[in-house]
Amino acid sequence: MSSEIEKKIDKKHHLIDKNHMSLFQSTDVPCSVTILVLPESSMMCVASVIEPFRAANRVSGKTLYDWKLVSLSGNPVDLTSSLPLSVMGQLDAAARGDLLVVIGGFNQDKHVSRSDVSLIRKAASGFQTIAGIEAGSWVVARAGLLDGHSATTHWEDYEAFADAFPDVDVKLDRYVIDGKRITCGGASPAFDLFLELVRKRNGPSVAMEVASVFIYDDAHSQSETQPLVSLGKVAKREPRIEHAVRLMEKWIEQPLPVAAIAKRVGVSAATLENIFKRHMGLTPGRFYLNLRLKAANRLVLDSALSMREIAIRSGFNSLSAFSRAYTKHFGKAAQLTRNHGFTR
């Protein structure tokens, strides 16, 4: 058998083995990653994807991850910060690799046309695994690549995403790994996700060194629920506040009485009020109302739902009650906010 034929057979067998190998399987074989960045993506999301790869290469002294940044046009991409991100080319339908990552942010429907979706679907066929980061999950779902899979997206878009893609099992987890499909809710979950990839693929010692590069010691598991409110140190100092806030987040549409929340937390209503005033500077009732109004505001700005439907989804028993509360809190009517939009 000629050496040339042997090389072709070895190459074919290598491709077959690679296709059957999990992305998260332990190996020193370099991981080939193409990262598609859409306009109005977050710089934090881009960094949370790339930096664990860069640091893994640095601490290991070898190329464990070989990545390429691309855009749909091949031109630099303007991020939400208005800073342009240089890319290494245009997404190619014939591209090949281990992992295709789609990063999206605001207005993905405006930035990704039907022909772009078709291009992404074709390109995806050349990759072992597909990942959608934040609004990238929407694009991957629009391409039909999440049908029959579990997935997540940013918590702000959770309900709209579930409504738009009924064939996707939508979860509010920080990130979801379902076979060869990966989705995650935003920048911090993306860092956790790719740190987990380094841990599984290259070993815990490399992952610990990567985390140490960024002085990062608070990794989260994929099944942890995305918090609507990031409580930071308050959660550690006063876990009863965290318990109460997570209950409030869960019961936006059908608000619980503060007394019922206090009972579930295991304190009296008066104690809960004192705890909130001391650590949050306001009563639990006011905090809960603010939380519901913030949820309503996201729907006003980022959905086509009627004001009546938004009132229902944010726990108001009438449109007039919602309108009064919204105007008092934000200083103008909800419809005016929708008409004028806002600066990101």
8 A C-beta contact, residue 136 and residue 103 = yes
Local confidence band at 312 (pLDDT 50, 70, 90 cut-offs): very high
C-alpha radius of gyration, the chain, whole number: 23
Residue in the structure block whose two tokens are 């999206």:
104
Q: What percentage of residues in the chain have a pLDDT greater than 70?
A: 88
Please answer whether residues 237 and 276 qualify as being in contact, where contact means their C-beta atoms are separated by less than 8 angstroms: no
pLDDT tier for residue 226 given thresholds of 50, 70 and 90: low
Taking the domains of the chain in order of start, what are their residue ranges?
Answer: 3-213, 233-340
Quote the Cα angle for 235-236-242, to 5°: 25
Residue 116 confidence (pLDDT) above 90 = yes
The confidence score (pLDDT) of residue 327 equals 94
pLDDT at 223: 61
The CATH class of the 3-213 domain is alpha beta
Same fold, 3-213 and 233-340: no
Contact (CB, 8 A) for 56 and 66: no
125-158 tens-digit pLDDT: 999 999 999 999 999 999 999 999 999 998 878 8
Angle at 46 between CA 44 and CA 51, to 5 degrees: 90
List, in order, residues 6 or more apart from 154 with CB less than 8 Å away: 134, 135, 185, 186, 226
> What is the mean pLDDT of the segment spanning 111-122?
97
Residues 6+ apart with CB under 8 A from 245: 229, 231, 287, 291
Threshold 0.75, pTM exceeds? no
The CATH homologous superfamily for domain 233-340 is: Homeodomain-like (1.10.10.60)
